Structure 1
């Protein structure tokens, strides 16, 4: 595995480090979108999480490994579709979900790509993130890019990036919610919370993490995929999905939660480790944390510092 440099070893600021990664990702978008039409069949193989892979999953993974792994700033490429990381030299570690929600291709619904940029060997804590990106392949293709400087939304067209929203900030109260998992397997506490939320927010849930979280960032609200009776460890992967999404939401002024504290505080033990995930606006997240008995984040502490006492 490559050896990511410490922050003191980095020659440029975090924003400039993320730039070649988002530009390379944007350049790959047209080919990934084309694969939605040409690679729709299932491969007959499972990824390390036990999920059957579409040909589009494999294609997107191989394309991104080739292009992102070739960057001088990248030392490790890890993917939800691969058991082990790929050593690409010296530099940062990328944890990639090449095609989030790929089962939605069958019904022609939204899918996405998620990239976590870690200044540490994997598996790593969310506090080791220098940046995070997600691309949403909707009616238009957009990208949310987060660094310590904040969150910017881009339109991605023909491989080019144009700023849509310079500073993305989630509102405090919110208008929408989206909750995953079978309702009978939710805990009693989470069912009580869900009943309260649905009285005042509109349900928006499409089955792709990127699409569901993008609605929460756009309108405010809360997304949750809680622990289940049959899956107490949660469903979403910490390195590839939960950490990058939590980083983006927190940098936009929102909150993240894993059932105990911020997702970014979750100890990383395995590359394909799962976790419950709750993210959203301050007000509905405060209610959720109180209902589930967790600890709120100190809003005066940055995401790279530990806010927990």
Structure 2
């Protein structure tokens, strides 16, 4: 039987199920090709001269790696000419990128974190790309990058697609168009993504957690309580032993949860309180929450469902607690 490529899967979602439009199909294919190009650049590493600092900072004031800048450029260049987008927004840019007038405009908005986990680049640990797709509101003002920001300020429930690529021992693309979660693996010889897992599901219970323990002294009481109970093991309140895993790259940690269950937490703490949290709502929390819920998990700030948040700015930050449904519910209950 012929392999089910990403292109074939998207055609089936469009033609047989009516889940997506032809333009959305094309948009996802273009994003996937950009991810292939990023994967190739990462694979060259030091041979391609792409490691190290770029000598610049992004809008959050974080030092950019050369691959951060390159990945951002790859995604912009790949997507601006196709006629399926009205505008793009990136974690690496202060303002949205409007489509040049020489190209036709489409009905979708694309948001992305071009290279998540930048601190892992130079030590050859898994990193990734996260993306989210929204419909552009009718009559939105796209005349300038400043004016176009308002079009993006939609809750996560409005997403029509989201996904991430993990650049690890293999390159995988995990995607949802609102019809469950599907995983594709890059076949480097054939030069395309091939379907390797359908209907991904996250177990409701887990014995594995991911959190940056270096911040423990800054956590709020509910998270302190939950982590302490997990560390007590089977003799404690939760009655089982837990393992901790922490890659420091959200895509890698979330992909592990998507594959075998677990809970990921970057909670509100004393260090991030004045910013609202650590992770970006539009580029990280919303797309990951969409995928996690489509796979049967849950995603919360501890006080609110992430997908229900009404954003007030493009680079808004939020606390993130996501993964196995029963574990997330326990942490949310402790916050209550």
TM-score norm. by structure 1 comes to 0.87
> How far has the Cα of 1:35 moved from its partner?
2.7
> How far has the Cα of 1:24 moved from its partner?
1.8
> How far has the Cα of 1:114 moved from its partner?
0.4
Return 38-47 or 263-272, whichever deviates more.
38-47
Match of 1:4 in 2: none
Unaligned runs of 5+ in 2: 1-13, 100-104, 137-150, 234-240
Match of 2:272 in 1: 231
- Structural RMSD (CA): 1.8
Residues 174, 182 of structure 2: 8 Å contact kept: yes
Q: Deviations over 1:116-141 (max 9, x none)?
A: 10124212210110010100011001
> 3-state SS of the aligned residue for 2:130?
strand
The match for 1:70 among 64, 78, 81 is 81
Return 94-103 or 14-23, whichever deviates more.
14-23
Match of 2:331 in 1: 288
> How far has the Cα of 1:15 moved from its partner?
6.6
Residues 186, 227 of structure 1: 8 Å contact kept: yes
1:204 and 1:21, CA in 2 relative to 1: closer, same or farther beyond 3 A? farther
User: Greater helix percent: which structure?
Assistant: 2
2:128 is the counterpart of 1:95: no
Instruction: Kindly tell me the number of residue pairs found equivalent between the two proteins.
Output: 284
The match for 2:58 among 47, 52, 77 is 47
The match for 1:202 among 215, 220, 243 is 243
Residues 301, 320 of structure 2: 8 Å contact kept: yes
- 2-side partners of 1:30 and 1:94: how far apart? 17
Q: Deviations over 1:60-80 (max 9, x none)?
A: 101101112223221111100
Match of 1:213 in 2: 254
Residues 39, 171 of structure 2: 8 Å contact kept: no
- 2-side partners of 1:85 and 1:22: how far apart? 19
Residues 84-233 of structure 1: pairs in structure 2 closer than 5 A: 84-88=95-99, 89-120=105-136, 121-158=151-188, 159-180=191-212, 182-198=215-231, 199=233, 200-232=241-273, 233=276
- 1-side partners of 2:195 and 2:243: how far apart? 28
> How far has the Cα of 1:18 moved from its partner?
4.0
> How far has the Cα of 1:156 moved from its partner?
1.8
> 3-state SS of the aligned residue for 2:160?
strand
> How far has the Cα of 1:174 moved from its partner?
2.0
- 2-side partners of 1:146 and 1:58: how far apart? 26
